Amino acid sequence: MKYIIEDIEVRAREELFINIHPIQPAGRLTPEAMKAIIAYGDGYSTCDWCRKPFRLDKIQRPPIDEFHAELAKFVGMDQARVVPGARRGFQAVVSSLIEKGDSVIVSSLAHYTEFLAVEDAGGVVKEVPLNEENIVTAENTANKIEKVKKEMGKLPKLIMMDHFDYMFGNEHNIHGIANVAKEYGIPFLANCAYSIGVMPVNGKEMGADFLVGSGHKSFASPAPSGIIAIADEWVEKVFRTTQMVGDVTKRKFGIKEVEMMGCTIMGANLIAMMASFPAVRERVKHWDDEVKKSNYFIDEFLKIQGNEVLSEMPRKHTLTKVDTTRSFDKIAQTHKRRGFFFSDELKERRIVGEFAGATKAWKLNTYGLTWDQIKYLAQTFHEIAKKYRINVV
Protein backbone atom coordinates (compact mmCIF):
# COMPACT_ATOMS: atom_id res chain seq x y z
CA MET A 1 0.00 0.00 0.00
CA LYS A 2 1.69 3.17 -1.17
CA TYR A 3 -1.25 5.52 -0.88
CA ILE A 4 -3.69 6.27 1.92
CA ILE A 5 -6.11 7.61 -0.62
CA GLU A 6 -5.44 8.76 -4.14
CA ASP A 7 -2.71 11.44 -4.13
CA ILE A 8 -1.84 11.03 -0.43
CA GLU A 9 1.25 8.90 -0.23
CA VAL A 10 2.24 6.86 2.76
CA ARG A 11 5.10 8.78 4.37
CA ALA A 12 7.78 6.22 5.11
CA ARG A 13 10.90 8.34 4.83
CA GLU A 14 11.72 7.88 8.50
CA GLU A 15 11.64 4.10 8.00
CA LEU A 16 13.50 4.09 4.69
CA PHE A 17 16.01 6.94 4.93
CA ILE A 18 18.31 8.74 7.30
CA ASN A 19 16.66 12.13 7.50
CA ILE A 20 18.96 15.10 8.20
CA HIS A 21 16.34 17.77 7.60
CA PRO A 22 17.17 20.79 9.78
CA ILE A 23 13.82 21.02 11.55
CA GLN A 24 12.36 17.51 11.45
CA PRO A 25 14.52 15.16 13.54
CA ALA A 26 13.54 16.08 17.11
CA GLY A 27 9.87 16.18 16.23
CA ARG A 28 10.01 12.60 14.98
CA LEU A 29 7.43 10.68 16.98
CA THR A 30 8.13 8.11 19.62
CA PRO A 31 6.31 4.78 19.12
CA GLU A 32 4.09 5.77 22.04
CA ALA A 33 3.06 8.96 20.24
CA MET A 34 2.30 6.99 17.07
CA LYS A 35 0.07 4.68 19.09
CA ALA A 36 -1.64 7.68 20.68
CA ILE A 37 -2.46 9.03 17.22
CA ILE A 38 -4.03 5.73 16.22
CA ALA A 39 -6.18 5.64 19.35
CA TYR A 40 -6.99 9.35 19.73
CA GLY A 41 -7.16 10.55 16.13
CA ASP A 42 -10.88 11.23 16.21
CA GLY A 43 -11.71 14.94 16.47
CA TYR A 44 -12.67 15.79 20.03
CA SER A 45 -11.18 12.60 21.44
CA THR A 46 -9.94 14.24 24.63
CA CYS A 47 -13.43 15.41 25.50
CA ASP A 48 -14.89 12.01 26.49
CA TRP A 49 -14.31 12.74 30.16
CA CYS A 50 -14.42 16.52 30.13
CA ARG A 51 -16.33 17.54 33.25
CA LYS A 52 -16.74 20.79 35.13
CA PRO A 53 -15.03 23.27 34.91
CA PHE A 54 -14.87 22.32 31.22
CA ARG A 55 -11.35 23.27 30.27
CA LEU A 56 -8.71 21.18 28.54
CA ASP A 57 -6.02 21.53 31.20
CA LYS A 58 -8.48 20.41 33.89
CA ILE A 59 -9.39 17.06 32.30
CA GLN A 60 -8.45 14.11 34.51
CA ARG A 61 -9.04 11.19 32.13
CA PRO A 62 -6.68 10.80 30.39
CA PRO A 63 -4.64 12.78 32.96
CA ILE A 64 -4.25 16.02 31.01
CA ASP A 65 -4.34 18.07 34.22
CA GLU A 66 -1.44 16.11 35.65
CA PHE A 67 0.50 16.46 32.39
CA HIS A 68 0.21 20.24 32.54
CA ALA A 69 1.51 20.29 36.12
CA GLU A 70 4.39 17.95 35.25
CA LEU A 71 5.21 19.93 32.14
CA ALA A 72 5.58 23.14 34.18
CA LYS A 73 7.90 21.32 36.59
CA PHE A 74 9.85 19.80 33.70
CA VAL A 75 10.75 23.24 32.34
CA GLY A 76 11.20 24.83 35.77
CA MET A 77 8.24 27.23 35.61
CA ASP A 78 5.05 27.66 37.62
CA GLN A 79 2.32 27.05 35.05
CA ALA A 80 2.21 25.60 31.59
CA ARG A 81 -0.25 25.26 28.77
CA VAL A 82 -0.06 23.43 25.50
CA VAL A 83 -0.53 25.56 22.39
CA PRO A 84 -0.70 24.92 18.64
CA GLY A 85 2.99 25.60 18.05
CA ALA A 86 5.56 27.93 19.61
CA ARG A 87 4.18 30.76 17.50
CA ARG A 88 0.93 30.71 19.47
CA GLY A 89 2.99 30.95 22.63
CA PHE A 90 4.71 34.10 21.37
CA GLN A 91 1.35 35.44 20.33
CA ALA A 92 -0.23 34.83 23.74
CA VAL A 93 2.52 36.73 25.58
CA VAL A 94 2.88 39.54 23.05
CA SER A 95 -0.86 40.06 22.81
CA SER A 96 -1.08 40.32 26.60
CA LEU A 97 1.80 42.76 27.04
CA ILE A 98 2.10 44.86 23.91
CA GLU A 99 0.01 47.80 22.84
CA LYS A 100 0.11 49.79 19.65
CA GLY A 101 3.47 51.54 19.23
CA ASP A 102 5.30 49.50 21.86
CA SER A 103 8.65 48.00 20.95
CA VAL A 104 9.86 44.45 21.46
CA ILE A 105 13.52 43.50 21.50
CA VAL A 106 14.29 40.41 19.42
CA SER A 107 17.39 38.72 18.06
CA SER A 108 18.71 39.40 14.57
CA LEU A 109 18.10 35.67 14.14
CA ALA A 110 14.54 35.78 15.49
CA HIS A 111 12.01 33.43 13.91
CA TYR A 112 9.56 35.15 11.59
CA THR A 113 6.64 34.21 13.83
CA GLU A 114 8.10 36.47 16.54
CA PHE A 115 7.81 39.31 14.02
CA LEU A 116 4.23 38.32 13.19
CA ALA A 117 3.22 38.14 16.84
CA VAL A 118 4.51 41.69 17.42
CA GLU A 119 2.93 43.00 14.23
CA ASP A 120 -0.40 41.44 15.16
CA ALA A 121 -0.35 43.33 18.46
CA GLY A 122 0.53 46.64 16.78
CA GLY A 123 4.08 46.74 18.13
CA VAL A 124 7.43 47.08 16.41
CA VAL A 125 10.42 44.74 16.58
CA LYS A 126 13.85 46.06 17.38
CA GLU A 127 16.62 43.65 16.54
CA VAL A 128 19.79 43.10 18.52
CA PRO A 129 22.79 42.83 16.18
CA LEU A 130 24.91 39.69 16.29
CA ASN A 131 28.56 39.64 17.26
CA GLU A 132 31.27 38.29 14.93
CA GLU A 133 30.42 34.69 15.91
CA ASN A 134 26.72 35.15 15.11
CA ILE A 135 25.82 35.19 18.79
CA VAL A 136 23.49 37.57 20.60
CA THR A 137 25.27 38.88 23.67
CA ALA A 138 24.02 40.58 26.81
CA GLU A 139 26.11 43.62 25.98
CA ASN A 140 24.57 44.06 22.53
CA THR A 141 21.12 43.60 24.06
CA ALA A 142 21.76 46.33 26.66
CA ASN A 143 23.09 48.64 23.94
CA LYS A 144 19.99 48.05 21.86
CA ILE A 145 17.72 48.81 24.80
CA GLU A 146 19.52 52.12 25.33
CA LYS A 147 19.23 52.94 21.65
CA VAL A 148 15.51 52.18 21.58
CA LYS A 149 14.96 54.21 24.75
CA LYS A 150 16.67 57.18 23.13
CA GLU A 151 14.83 56.82 19.82
CA MET A 152 11.36 56.11 21.14
CA GLY A 153 11.47 57.89 24.48
CA LYS A 154 10.42 54.74 26.34
CA LEU A 155 11.76 51.32 27.15
CA PRO A 156 10.84 48.24 25.15
CA LYS A 157 7.93 46.33 26.67
CA LEU A 158 9.32 42.86 26.13
CA ILE A 159 12.52 41.02 25.26
CA MET A 160 12.10 37.83 23.20
CA MET A 161 15.29 35.92 22.69
CA ASP A 162 16.13 32.54 21.19
CA HIS A 163 18.00 30.05 23.34
CA PHE A 164 19.27 28.36 20.17
CA ASP A 165 18.45 29.96 16.83
CA TYR A 166 16.99 28.30 13.74
CA MET A 167 19.61 29.61 11.35
CA PHE A 168 22.91 28.43 12.84
CA GLY A 169 21.80 26.39 15.85
CA ASN A 170 24.02 28.68 17.91
CA GLU A 171 23.56 29.13 21.64
CA HIS A 172 22.89 32.70 22.68
CA ASN A 173 23.72 34.25 26.01
CA ILE A 174 20.28 33.69 27.41
CA HIS A 175 21.31 33.98 31.08
CA GLY A 176 23.16 37.23 30.48
CA ILE A 177 20.25 38.63 28.47
CA ALA A 178 17.84 37.62 31.24
CA ASN A 179 19.99 39.60 33.68
CA VAL A 180 19.88 42.63 31.41
CA ALA A 181 16.10 42.29 31.22
CA LYS A 182 15.90 42.23 35.03
CA GLU A 183 18.13 45.29 35.33
CA TYR A 184 15.82 47.27 33.06
CA GLY A 185 12.65 45.74 34.52
CA ILE A 186 11.59 44.39 31.12
CA PRO A 187 9.77 41.03 30.98
CA PHE A 188 11.78 38.32 29.28
CA LEU A 189 10.57 35.54 27.01
CA ALA A 190 13.01 32.74 26.16
CA ASN A 191 12.26 31.06 22.85
CA CYS A 192 13.28 27.48 23.52
CA ALA A 193 11.83 25.94 20.36
CA TYR A 194 15.19 24.27 19.72
CA SER A 195 15.93 23.29 23.31
CA ILE A 196 12.85 22.24 25.34
CA GLY A 197 12.44 18.53 24.72
CA VAL A 198 15.98 17.79 23.59
CA MET A 199 18.11 19.20 26.42
CA PRO A 200 17.55 20.12 30.05
CA VAL A 201 15.91 23.55 30.30
CA ASN A 202 14.97 25.33 33.50
CA GLY A 203 13.19 28.62 32.99
CA LYS A 204 13.64 29.93 36.51
CA GLU A 205 17.37 29.18 36.48
CA MET A 206 17.49 30.87 33.11
CA GLY A 207 15.80 33.95 34.58
CA ALA A 208 12.88 33.83 32.17
CA ASP A 209 9.39 35.16 32.82
CA PHE A 210 8.04 33.16 29.90
CA LEU A 211 9.28 30.06 28.14
CA VAL A 212 8.06 28.89 24.78
CA GLY A 213 8.76 25.48 23.28
CA SER A 214 7.76 23.57 20.19
CA GLY A 215 6.18 20.13 20.25
CA HIS A 216 6.70 19.33 16.58
CA LYS A 217 10.21 20.73 16.54
CA SER A 218 11.72 19.31 19.71
CA PHE A 219 9.21 17.27 21.72
CA ALA A 220 8.61 14.21 19.53
CA SER A 221 5.10 15.44 18.81
CA PRO A 222 2.88 16.06 15.80
CA ALA A 223 2.29 19.51 14.35
CA PRO A 224 0.95 21.79 15.50
CA SER A 225 1.93 21.50 19.14
CA GLY A 226 3.85 23.69 21.51
CA ILE A 227 4.32 24.79 25.08
CA ILE A 228 4.02 28.06 26.91
CA ALA A 229 5.22 28.11 30.51
CA ILE A 230 5.19 31.16 32.73
CA ALA A 231 6.14 32.43 36.16
CA ASP A 232 3.35 32.87 38.72
CA GLU A 233 3.48 36.67 38.64
CA TRP A 234 2.36 36.67 35.00
CA VAL A 235 -0.41 34.09 35.26
CA GLU A 236 -3.21 36.59 35.79
CA LYS A 237 -2.13 38.63 32.82
CA VAL A 238 -1.29 35.98 30.23
CA PHE A 239 -3.69 33.25 31.34
CA ARG A 240 -6.47 35.71 32.19
CA THR A 241 -9.98 34.34 31.93
CA THR A 242 -12.79 35.89 29.95
CA GLN A 243 -14.87 38.64 31.47
CA MET A 244 -17.21 38.94 28.50
CA VAL A 245 -20.97 38.79 29.02
CA GLY A 246 -23.46 38.38 26.19
CA ASP A 247 -25.72 41.41 26.00
CA VAL A 248 -28.82 39.42 25.03
CA THR A 249 -28.24 36.05 26.66
CA LYS A 250 -26.07 37.22 29.57
CA ARG A 251 -23.92 34.20 28.89
CA LYS A 252 -20.47 34.03 30.51
CA PHE A 253 -17.68 31.56 29.94
CA GLY A 254 -15.63 32.47 33.00
CA ILE A 255 -13.14 29.61 33.11
CA LYS A 256 -11.95 30.00 29.52
CA GLU A 257 -8.60 31.67 29.01
CA VAL A 258 -8.70 34.45 26.43
CA GLU A 259 -5.20 33.98 24.99
CA MET A 260 -5.69 30.23 24.72
CA MET A 261 -9.02 30.76 22.92
CA GLY A 262 -10.51 28.41 25.47
CA CYS A 263 -9.17 24.94 24.81
CA THR A 264 -6.07 24.55 22.65
CA ILE A 265 -4.92 21.27 21.12
CA MET A 266 -7.81 19.08 22.16
CA GLY A 267 -7.10 15.82 20.37
CA ALA A 268 -4.47 13.42 19.12
CA ASN A 269 -1.70 16.04 19.16
CA LEU A 270 -2.01 16.58 22.88
CA ILE A 271 -2.26 12.88 23.71
CA ALA A 272 0.76 12.23 21.49
CA MET A 273 2.72 14.88 23.42
CA MET A 274 1.68 13.20 26.65
CA ALA A 275 2.61 9.79 25.29
CA SER A 276 6.06 11.05 24.26
CA PHE A 277 6.64 12.83 27.55
CA PRO A 278 8.28 9.95 29.48
CA ALA A 279 10.68 9.34 26.58
CA VAL A 280 11.35 13.06 26.24
CA ARG A 281 12.07 13.36 29.96
CA GLU A 282 14.57 10.56 29.57
CA ARG A 283 16.18 11.74 26.34
CA VAL A 284 17.07 15.21 27.61
CA LYS A 285 19.44 13.47 30.04
CA HIS A 286 21.39 12.22 27.02
CA TRP A 287 21.82 15.55 25.28
CA ASP A 288 25.60 15.39 25.77
CA ASP A 289 25.72 12.27 23.64
CA GLU A 290 23.68 13.98 20.91
CA VAL A 291 26.19 16.84 20.91
CA LYS A 292 29.07 14.35 20.77
CA LYS A 293 27.51 12.71 17.72
CA SER A 294 26.95 16.10 16.13
CA ASN A 295 30.61 17.03 16.66
CA TYR A 296 31.79 13.61 15.43
CA PHE A 297 29.89 14.08 12.19
CA ILE A 298 31.05 17.68 11.75
CA ASP A 299 34.70 16.68 12.35
CA GLU A 300 34.35 14.04 9.62
CA PHE A 301 32.51 16.49 7.36
CA LEU A 302 35.41 18.95 7.71
CA LYS A 303 37.86 16.33 6.48
CA ILE A 304 36.40 16.91 3.03
CA GLN A 305 38.56 19.58 1.45
CA GLY A 306 36.69 22.84 0.96
CA ASN A 307 33.89 22.05 3.40
CA GLU A 308 33.18 24.71 6.02
CA VAL A 309 30.94 25.11 9.03
CA LEU A 310 29.14 28.43 9.47
CA SER A 311 27.77 27.67 12.94
CA GLU A 312 29.76 28.16 16.14
CA MET A 313 32.39 25.51 16.86
CA PRO A 314 32.61 23.14 18.57
CA ARG A 315 28.96 22.41 18.09
CA LYS A 316 26.64 22.78 21.06
CA HIS A 317 23.61 21.65 19.07
CA THR A 318 22.69 19.03 16.48
CA LEU A 319 21.46 21.68 14.02
CA THR A 320 24.36 23.04 11.98
CA LYS A 321 24.76 25.37 9.03
CA VAL A 322 27.44 24.24 6.62
CA ASP A 323 29.00 25.64 3.48
CA THR A 324 30.04 23.38 0.62
CA THR A 325 30.67 26.14 -1.94
CA ARG A 326 34.33 25.13 -2.24
CA SER A 327 33.64 21.41 -2.46
CA PHE A 328 30.34 19.97 -3.72
CA ASP A 329 29.25 23.22 -5.36
CA LYS A 330 32.32 23.12 -7.59
CA ILE A 331 31.08 19.79 -8.92
CA ALA A 332 27.57 21.23 -9.33
CA GLN A 333 28.91 23.95 -11.64
CA THR A 334 29.62 21.45 -14.42
CA HIS A 335 27.33 18.54 -13.54
CA LYS A 336 24.34 18.02 -15.84
CA ARG A 337 22.09 17.78 -12.77
CA ARG A 338 23.67 20.94 -11.30
CA GLY A 339 23.18 21.04 -7.52
CA PHE A 340 20.76 18.13 -7.63
CA PHE A 341 23.67 15.76 -8.27
CA PHE A 342 24.39 15.95 -4.55
CA SER A 343 20.81 15.13 -3.55
CA ASP A 344 20.82 12.25 -6.04
CA GLU A 345 24.01 10.83 -4.55
CA LEU A 346 22.67 11.13 -1.01
CA LYS A 347 19.30 9.63 -1.89
CA GLU A 348 20.92 6.72 -3.67
CA ARG A 349 22.62 5.99 -0.33
CA ARG A 350 19.34 6.46 1.57
CA ILE A 351 20.00 9.89 3.00
CA VAL A 352 17.42 12.68 2.63
CA GLY A 353 16.55 15.99 4.23
CA GLU A 354 19.18 18.30 2.75
CA PHE A 355 17.74 21.22 0.81
CA ALA A 356 17.45 19.61 -2.61
CA GLY A 357 19.74 21.25 -5.13
CA ALA A 358 21.59 23.37 -2.56
CA THR A 359 25.36 22.98 -2.65
CA LYS A 360 26.43 26.29 -1.15
CA ALA A 361 25.17 27.12 2.35
CA TRP A 362 22.65 24.69 3.81
CA LYS A 363 21.59 23.19 7.12
CA LEU A 364 21.44 19.71 8.57
CA ASN A 365 20.41 18.13 11.84
CA THR A 366 21.76 14.87 13.26
CA TYR A 367 19.42 14.64 16.26
CA GLY A 368 18.29 11.16 17.25
CA LEU A 369 20.58 9.21 14.94
CA THR A 370 22.31 6.21 16.47
CA TRP A 371 26.11 6.03 16.47
CA ASP A 372 25.90 3.50 13.62
CA GLN A 373 23.76 5.90 11.61
CA ILE A 374 26.07 8.84 12.36
CA LYS A 375 29.09 6.85 11.18
CA TYR A 376 27.22 5.73 8.07
CA LEU A 377 26.33 9.38 7.37
CA ALA A 378 29.94 10.51 7.72
CA GLN A 379 31.23 7.66 5.54
CA THR A 380 28.65 8.48 2.88
CA PHE A 381 29.79 12.09 2.66
CA HIS A 382 33.39 10.89 2.29
CA GLU A 383 32.33 8.38 -0.34
CA ILE A 384 30.54 11.01 -2.43
CA ALA A 385 33.52 13.39 -2.13
CA LYS A 386 35.94 10.70 -3.25
CA LYS A 387 33.72 9.73 -6.17
CA TYR A 388 34.07 13.29 -7.48
CA ARG A 389 37.79 13.45 -6.70
CA ILE A 390 37.46 15.86 -3.81
CA ASN A 391 40.22 15.26 -1.29
CA VAL A 392 39.32 13.75 2.04
CA VAL A 393 42.14 14.30 4.50
Partner 1 sequence: MIEKAVEETFAALFALIDLRQIFRETKPTYQFNSEQKRQTKEIIERVRQSMDIIEKELMK
List of residues contacting partner 1 (CB under 8 A):
14-18, 28, 31, 34-35, 38-39, 349-351, 370, 372-373, 376
Q: Are strands 103-107 and 18-19 parallel, antiparallel or unpaired?
A: unpaired
Looking at beta carbons only, is 40 or 67 nearer to partner 1? 40
Radius of gyration of the chain (CA): 23
Peptide bond into 31 cis (omega under 30): no
Smallest distance, Å, CB 355 to partner 1? Answer: 20
Looking at beta carbons only, is 75 or 384 nearer to partner 1? 384
Smallest distance, Å, CB 379 to partner 1? Answer: 11
Q: Is 99 helix (H, G, I), strand (E, B) or coil?
A: coil
Q: How far apart are CA 275 and CA 269, in angstroms?
A: 10
Q: Evaluate whether 238 touches 210 at the Cβ level (below 8 Å).
A: yes
Smallest distance, Å, CB 342 to partner 1? Answer: 17
Looking at beta carbons only, is 240 or 350 nearer to partner 1? 350
Q: What are phi and psi of 80, to 5 degrees?
A: -135, 150
Residue 43 DSSP class: T
Looking at beta carbons only, is 37 or 116 nearer to partner 1? 37
Give the orientation angle of helix 340-348 with respect to helix 371-387, to 10 degrees: 130
Smallest distance, Å, CB 31 to partner 1? Answer: 4
Looking at beta carbons only, is 48 or 151 nearer to partner 1? 48
Smallest distance, Å, CB 68 to partner 1? Answer: 26
Looking at beta carbons only, is 13 or 58 nearer to partner 1? 13
Q: What are phi and psi of 220, to 5 degrees?
A: 50, 45
CA distances from 288 to 24, 283, 294, 366 (A): 20, 10, 10, 13
Amino acid at 306: G
Smallest distance, Å, CB 273 to partner 1? Answer: 17
Peptide bond into 222 cis (omega under 30): no
